[in-house]
């Protein structure tokens, strides 16, 4: 779980940010290091295509997938499938902790302690939240260490030593206490003053906090964990800027983030909102690929911006949050009527009920995972198609997609993809690219 995942549990806004990809960090493929000459790629014979000759997109997709060694594919499948179970264990552990805090009256005792220290309700809420955060962090720490540190190292996806990793966790904890405390204090102020319509206004405040986090994240939060520098190499920078300008995106810089200090994962993103938007690549990207791959990756990210995915996602998840608070309104009242006296929890305005509120939200979002995954997956597919039309690099798309195979299952079944994938699978993305290629063979140079 980790401190960032505790925020995922405690704050609906961060839950959505972490789980649903706010900032639209797409974990796409790698690109060429500034000033370096990355090796080119070889297109499988079946996937090359010749103008005027039949071209089978499905066969071409299978040819690309066949280039991945069996042992590497088995390893990435095991990693990704293990993530299914971790989703379940994280949910069950969070539920068990919530029930422990309630049934053992720990939550009521933390509230009572806060009330003895101060009579001011906002300060009581902040003091309670600090206790709540500390207890949940300690109880989830063993799983946090396994999931966030040992497992990532075991699969070759992490580069940080334990001390540096723990330092990042500490930073996340401080931010969670500050921002989480503010949000929880605001929410409980609304719960107490608006006992009938709290669920509507609680959703409004949460969505507003989401917008705020999107705006300040790239400028104030992310630089606490990584260093951002301007991409200087014109051989890489200029094609990206030309793609951006050609599609109506007025940017003058591309940023590079030193993600390699933490991970071997490759990613690029368009992050920010309301004037803080920026295009960024991580330095893992810049070590591995050719210009066609660069153009594919960045066209995908530009597509998110041009297609207004952040604005659309805010609307969608605003409605989801509203539905989630409506579910909490129903479930909280039912639970308190039956067990409230035993737990020492009063109405919705009683901060000792926070574990119950978080448990109900966790149940709601856990059950809704296939729905939210599908929404995000559709946006990612739209950005892929935009990238194909803008960059016109279907083979670059295929190579990039295969490099996601280090930590994503390449070819899941349709039900598996629906349930667990918040991006199209590698096979689905390559097939889209090969279908595009089949329709544009007369316009495409043949790659060796």
pLDDT of the residue at 272: 65
Give the 3-state secondary structure of the chain: CHHHHHHHHHCHHHHHHHHHCCCCECCCCCCCCCCCCCCCCCCCHHHHCCCCCCCCHHHHHHHHHCCCCHHHHHHHHHHHHHHHHHHHHHHHHHHHHHHHHHHCCHHHHHHHHHHHHCCCHHHHHHHHHHHHHHHHHHHHHHHHHHHHHHHHHHCCCECCCHHHHHHHHHHHHHHHHHHHHHHHHHHHHHHHHCCCCHHHHHHHHHHHHHHHHHHHHHHHHHHHCCCEEECCCHHHHHHHHHHHHHCCCCCCCCEEECHHHCECCCCEEEECCCCCCEEEEECCHHHCCCHHHHHHHHHHHHHHHHCCHHHHHHHHHHHHHHHHHHHHHHHHHHHHHHHHHHHCCCCCCCHHHHHHHHHHHHHHHHHCHHHHHHHHHHHHHHHHHHHHHHHCCHHHHHHHHHHHHHCCCCCCCHHHHHHHCCCCCHHHHHHHHHHHHHHCHHHCCCCC
pLDDT of the residue at 180: 92
Angstrom distance (rounded) from CA 252 to CA 3: 35
Residue 406 pLDDT > 90: no
Angstrom distance (rounded) from CA 318 to CA 303: 22
Arithmetic mean of pLDDT, 133-160? 95
Residue 167 pLDDT > 50: yes
Arithmetic mean of pLDDT, 415-424? 94
Which structure tokens are listed for 383? 């950005």
pLDDT of the residue at 273: 66
pLDDT tens digits for range 54-101: 899 999 999 999 999 999 999 999 999 999 999 999 999 999 999 999
The residue that leads in pLDDT, 129 or 7, is 129
Q: What pTM, to 2 d.p., does this model score?
A: 0.86
With b for 16 or more beta-carbon neighbours within 10 A and e for fewer, the 410-445 pattern comes to bbbeeeebeebbbbbbbbbbbbbbbbbbeeebeebe
Angstrom distance (rounded) from CA 25 to CA 315: 19
Cβ atoms < 10 Å from Cβ of 222: 18
pLDDT of the residue at 281: 84
Please name every residue paired with 279 in a beta bridge, in sequence order, or none if there are none.
270
pLDDT tens digits for range 12-58: 343 333 333 333 333 433 333 333 334 567 888 888 877 667 899 99
Residue 379 · residue 25 · CB < 8 Å: no
The residue that leads in pLDDT, 322 or 38, is 322
């Amino acid at each position: 779980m980790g401190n960032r995942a505790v925020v995922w549990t405690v704050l609906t806004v961060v839950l959505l940010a972490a789980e649903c990809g706010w900032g639209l960090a797409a974990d796409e493929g790698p690109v060429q290091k500034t000033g370096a000459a990355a090796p080119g790629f070889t297109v499988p014979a079946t996937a090359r295509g010749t103008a005027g000759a039949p071209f089978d997109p499905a066969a071409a997709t299978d040819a690309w997938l066949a280039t991945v060694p069996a042992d590497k594919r088995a390893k990435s499948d095991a990693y990704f499938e293990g993530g299914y179970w971790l989703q379940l264990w994280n949910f069950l552990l969070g539920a068990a902790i919530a029930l422990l805090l309630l049934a053992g009256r720990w939550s009521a005792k933390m509230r009572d302690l806060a009330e003895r220290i101060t009579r001011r309700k906002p300060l009581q809420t902040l003091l309670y939240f600090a206790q709540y955060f500390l207890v949940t962090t300690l109880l989830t720490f063993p799983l946090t260490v396994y999931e966030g540190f040992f497992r990532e190292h075991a699969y070759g996806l992490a580069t940080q030593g334990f001390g540096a990793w723990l330092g990042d966790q500490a930073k996340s904890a401080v931010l969670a206490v500050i921002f989480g405390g503010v949000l929880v204090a605001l929410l409980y102020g609304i719960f107490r003053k608006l006992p009938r319509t709290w669920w509507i206004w609680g959703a409004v405040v949460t969505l507003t906090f989401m917008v705020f986090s999107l705006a300040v994240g790239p400028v104030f939060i992310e630089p606490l964990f990584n260093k951002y520098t301007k991409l200087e190499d014109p051989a890489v920078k200029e094609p990206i800027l030309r793609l951006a300008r050609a599609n109506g995106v007025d940017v003058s810089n591309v940023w590079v983030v030193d993600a390699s200090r933490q991970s071997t994962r490759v990613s690029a993103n368009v992050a920010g909102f309301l004037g803080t938007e920026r295009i960024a690549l991580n330095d893992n990207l810049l070590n591995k690929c050719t210009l066609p791959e660069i153009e594919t990756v960045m066209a995908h990210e530009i597509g998110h911006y041009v297609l207004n995915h952040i604005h659309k996602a805010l609307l969608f998840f605003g409605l989801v949050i509203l539905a989630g608070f409506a579910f909490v309104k129903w479930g909280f009242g039912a639970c308190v009527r039956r067990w409230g006296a035993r737990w020492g929890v009063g109405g919705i305005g009683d901060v000792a009920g926070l574990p119950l509120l978080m448990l109900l939200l966790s149940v709601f979002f856990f059950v809704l995972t296939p729905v939210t995954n599908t929404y995000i997956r559709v946006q990612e597919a739209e950005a892929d198609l935009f990238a194909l039309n803008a960059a016109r690099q279907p083979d670059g798309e295929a190579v990039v997609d295969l490099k996601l195979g280090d930590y994503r299952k390449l070819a899941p079944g349709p039900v598996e993809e629906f349930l667990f994938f918040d991006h199209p699978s590698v096979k689905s993305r390559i097939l889209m690219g090969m279908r595009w290629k089949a329709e544009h063979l007369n316009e495409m140079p043949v790659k060796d």
